[in-house]
A and B are shown apart, each in its own frame.
Chain A
Amino acid sequence: MDIFTIIFWVIAVVLFVVSLVKSKEKTFDAMKKSKSMMGGMIGEIVAIIFLIGLVLTFIPPETIKTVLGSSNTIVSTFISAAVGSITLIPAFVAFPLVGSLVDAGASIVPAVGFLTTLTMVGVVTFPLEKKEFGTKFAVTRNLFSFAFAIVIALVMGVII
Chain B
Amino acid sequence: MKIVSVLKRNRLIFLVLVVYSILLFTSPDKAIQSWKNSTYYLIEMLQVLPVIFLLTVVIEALVPKEMIIKDFGENSGIKGNLFSLLLGSISAGPIYAAFPISKLMLKKKGCQHYKYCNYLKFMGCYKNTYACK
Contacts and interface: CB of A to CB of B under 8 A. Distances in A.
Interface stretch (A27-35, A73-81, A102-110): A27-35
Given A22-B62, A53-B41, A132-B99, A116 B56 contact: no
Interface residues of A, number: 63
Given A38-B49, A120-B127, A144-B132, A137 B114 contact: yes
B34 A26 contact: no
A159 B1 CA distance: 59
A12 B58 contact: yes
Contacts of B124: 116, 119-120, 145, 148-149
A26 B130 CA distance: 37
Which residue, B15, B54, B127, has most C-beta atoms of chain A within 10 A?
B54
Contact of A48 (B37, B52, B96, B128): B96
A49 B99 contact: no
A48 B16 CA distance: 8
Given A46-B13, A52-B38, A15 B131 contact: no
A13 B52 CA distance: 11
By secondary structure, the B interface counts as helix
Interface in B1-51: 9-13, 15-16, 19-20, 23, 30, 33-42, 44-45, 47-51
Contacts of B103: 37, 132-133
Given A23-B61, A90-B44, A144-B127, A44 B37 contact: no
A49 B12 contact: no
Q: How big is the B interface, by class?
A: 35 or more
A46 B61 CA distance: 27
Interface in A111-160: 116, 119-120, 122, 125, 127-129, 132-134, 137, 140-141, 144-145, 147-149, 151-152
12 contacts: A5-B47, A8-B92, A12-B58, A15-B55, A34-B104, A50-B20, A53-B39, A54-B16, A54-B23, A54-B34, A137-B114, A151-B127
Interface of B: 9-13, 15-16, 19-20, 23, 30, 33-42, 44-45, 47-58, 60-62, 92-96, 99-100, 102-104, 106, 114, 117-118, 121-124, 127-128, 130-132
Given A47-B12, A90-B40, 17 more contacts: A8-B92, A15-B55, A19-B57, A22-B62, A29-B61, A30-B57, A30-B60, A43-B13, A47-B10, A47-B13, A51-B16, A54-B19, A57-B33, A119-B124, A137-B118, A145-B128, A148-B124
